[in-house]
Amino acid sequence: MSVEFKPEVVAFCCRHCAYAAADLAGGGRQAYPSAIKIVELPCTGRMDVVNVLHAFESGADGVLVAGCLSGKCHYIKGNLYARQRVNYLKALLDEIGLESERLRMVNISAAMGIRFAELANEHVECVRKLGPNPLRSAAKQGVAA
Amino acid sequence: MIVAESKPLEAISAMLQRYEKVLAVGCGTCVTVCFAGGRKEVATLAASLRMKRGIEGKPLEVAEAFVQRQCEWEYIEPLAEQVKKYDAVLSLGCGVGVQTLAERFPGTRVLPALNTLFMGLPTEAGVWEERCQACGACVLDKTGGICPVSRCAKQLFNGPCGGSQNGVCEVDKSVPCAWHMIWERADALGMTDALMEIEPPKNWASSRDGGLRRMVRDDLRTPTEDGGNE
């Protein structure tokens, strides 16, 4: 059964770093899983708690938040606010009954294409071990309805 | 503003155990400003509850609604038809909002999603502090605008006490001594003489006496037909 499980991971990526790094990874033919669905943000500071919850509610097996390196945010502290929200969300996910490991925040630069591919692979593998989001079937039924 | 915080998700979920369809209602006034019951908090709580119950195998429909002010009849009236469609209403308003909804919709169970904490202000991003306990007899004129009722641990009216050390209260090092601040403010205003007068015991009758408190303004009441002519 675990062989058939194909995780779906939403990656909220800052356009100044991770989004460009994902592009670089692709350009450099660094493989990262097709399971990663990238959402481009102007800054991870734009990521709202509700965005992440709705991703999980809609059936995402994992969420990756990728922002600039500490001290390198184009908007000064957007990545730091995002980190605080991720920490809040992790506690909330545990309360909800969904493993908080399904959510991870990473910090990279636009030049770190190889690192982006590594982190994407790591997170997808982590999610694969956790198994499908238990809300996935309910979400699909909801879409069908 | 009235400051509130969310109850733990577990506690809210327990209140809703027997229901299948609930309406979560936010409030656009105080609890929006303190990030406890605004639109985003309604969306966050609704999604969290739907997910929690979905994982538990007992799906819960949580619809989201929002009014500008839960503590006035006119503002909650538009909810009248919507409320009938749900097993219960989950209010993200303060205690006043919850009770206004419960009073207007007596046939529907209205439940609180928040704990109402105090009347206060944001002192910095993410931090709120109490400033008023609505004692009903304001003394801020005598204390340089610093309230000893809400800010002094002993609610002293002649202070500071012996527990004041270097401007800090003995109950907690994070709590500044209100009376130290009152004296410093009086000094800056050249009003320390007034503080030398002994303040008699406060009359607390206006604070927590005789059940609910009520304020009446005759000039604002709806006129009766036999108001009389002069």
Residue B10, both tokens:
């577990």
The residue-averaged pLDDT of B57-70 equals: 98
Question: Which of A61-75, B25-39, B193-207 is predicted least confidently?
Answer: B193-207
| pLDDT tops 60 at residue A144 | no
Which amino acid would we find at residue B15? M
CB contact set of B8 (below 8 Å; sequence gap of 6+): A95
CATH class of the domain at A9-136: alpha beta
Residues of chain A positioned with their CB less than 8 A from the CB of B36: none
Instruction: Check CB contact of B127 with chain A, cutoff 8 Å.
Output: no
Sign of the torsion angle spanned by Cα atoms B21, B27, B31, B37: positive
Residue A4: band (very low, low, confident or very high) from pLDDT cuts 50, 70, 90: confident
The residue-averaged pLDDT of B165-170 equals: 96
| pLDDT tops 60 at residue A143 | no
Residues of chain B positioned with their CB less than 8 A from the CB of A135: 51, 54-55
| Alpha carbon of residue B15 to chain centroid | 21
Residue B106: band (very low, low, confident or very high) from pLDDT cuts 50, 70, 90: very high
Q: How far apart are CA B163 and CA B178, in angstroms?
A: 12
A135 vs B10: CB contact, 8 Å cut-off?
Answer: no
Instruction: Check CB contact of A52 with chain B, cutoff 8 Å.
Output: no
pLDDT at residue B227, as a whole number: 65
A95 → closest Cβ in B9, B56, B59: B9
As for the ipTM of the complex, it is: 0.91
- Best of A46, A49, A50, A143 to disrupt the B interface (most B CBs within 10 Å) is A50
The residue-averaged pLDDT of A10-25 equals: 95
Q: How far is A90 from chain B (nearest CA, A)?
A: 12
Which bin fits A131, alpha (ψ -120 to 50), beta or left (φ > 0)?
A: left
pLDDT at residue A142, as a whole number: 58
Which amino acid would we find at residue A7? P
B61 SS3 class: strand
Which amino acid would we find at residue A85? R
The residue-averaged pLDDT of A14-23 equals: 94
The residue-averaged pLDDT of B50-57 equals: 97
| pLDDT tops 70 at residue B65 | yes
B51 vs A135: CB contact, 8 Å cut-off?
Answer: yes
A residues 102..121 contacting B (CB < 8 A): none
pLDDT at residue A2, as a whole number: 47
What is this structure's pTM?
A: 0.91
Instruction: Check CB contact of B56 with chain A, cutoff 8 Å.
Output: yes
pLDDT at residue A3, as a whole number: 57
Q: Per-domain residue ranges for chain B?
A: 2-117, 135-206
CB contact set of B60 (below 8 Å; sequence gap of 6+): B16, B19, B20, B21, B22, B49, B50, B53, B54
pLDDT tens per residue, range B111-127: 999 999 999 999 999 99
Instruction: Check CB contact of B11 with chain A, cutoff 8 Å.
Output: no
Residue A136: band (very low, low, confident or very high) from pLDDT cuts 50, 70, 90: confident
pLDDT at residue A124, as a whole number: 96
A135 vs B44: CB contact, 8 Å cut-off?
Answer: no
Nearest CA in chain A to B8: A95
CATH class of the domain at B2-117: alpha beta
Residue A140: band (very low, low, confident or very high) from pLDDT cuts 50, 70, 90: low
Q: Provide the pairing of β-strand B88-91 with B109-112.
A: parallel
Q: How far is B192 from chain A (nearest CA, A)?
A: 45
Q: How far is A36 from chain B (nearest CA, A)?
A: 22
- Best of A58, A95, A103, A137 to disrupt the B interface (most B CBs within 10 Å) is A95
pLDDT at residue B56, as a whole number: 96
A96 vs B8: CB contact, 8 Å cut-off?
Answer: no
Question: Which of A19-28, A132-141, B89-98, B166-175 is predicted least confidently?
Answer: A132-141
pLDDT at residue B148, as a whole number: 96
